Amino acid sequence: MSPLFLDRWWRFYLRILNGTKKRNTDTTTASASTPRELVRQRAGSGEVFTRLSRGRTRLSPFAPGSLEKIGRGALRLSGDNIYAGGTTIEGGTLLVANRSGSATGTGPVNITAGTLGGSGIIAGAVTIGTGAFLAPAAGSNVPATLTIQNALTFNADATYTCTLRKNRNGTRTDEVIANGVTINSGALIALSGQTMGALTQGMTLISNTLSQSH
């Protein structure tokens, strides 16, 4: 089983349910070639508080468990993860950066507060809650494409922050690809970025791949 890969350099809280026991962690520094384990697979639930330096850190796999991101920091998931209990963002930023599989396992992803971003792949249904944000570029000025292989729902007062960038080679924007999209009344789309001249017509911000029979 593949590990849960963490790849970022800010302070964050991570709560793991039904997968690992609690272990206190201070400062952890790891290189991409020699990742360190923060938490080993055990029974029960636990919570990790850590500060990552630039590098890569991993958690042992915990297929039945779930993951909750709390606190103000950022957490980047760059591996093909297999936990099935779902992912919840309660604060800060969760970035998905995997190239295959699903960064967030097979369960649903719920953003109750904070931001979901990145250019990776998510297998489960995603819900952007009231006051929460979806921002593929996650504050950078480089547009990104986030792929959701399931349904995407924006609740009232949820915000899709879309970064756009126009240069001599044309206009690039964030894009979200989802298999079914629901945008409830009161949800917002906010454009962010700089342009040179007129924008290209027909930009795609959200691509709905769901086939509907008539």
Residues 2-33: pLDDT tens digits?
444 454 434 444 555 544 333 333 333 333 33
Phi-psi region of 86 (alpha: psi -120 to 50; beta: other; left: phi over 0): left
Predicted local confidence at residue 200, as pLDDT:
58
pLDDT > 90 in the chain, percent: 31
Query: What burial letters (b/e) apply to 27-45, b meaning 16+ CB within 10 Å?
Result: ebebeeeebeebbebeeee
Query: How far from the centroid of its chain's Cα atoms is residue 211's Cα?
Result: 25
Spatial separation of the C-alpha atoms in residues 192 and 196, rounded to whole Å: 14
- What single string gives the DSSP state of each residue in 37-85? ESS---SS-EEEEEEEPSS-EEE---TT-EEEEESSSEEEE-S-----S
**Residue bearing the bigger pLDDT, 176 or 172:** 176
Q: What is the pLDDT of residues 89-140, one digit of tens each?
A: 988 889 998 899 998 889 999 999 999 999 999 999 999 999 999 999 987 8
pTM of the model: 0.73
Distances 76 to 2, 41, 171, 183, 195 between C-alpha atoms, Å = 16, 20, 27, 26, 28
Residue type, 23: R
Q: What is the pLDDT of residues 47-75, one digit of tens each?
A: 444 444 334 444 444 455 678 887 777 88
Tell me 195's DSSP state. -
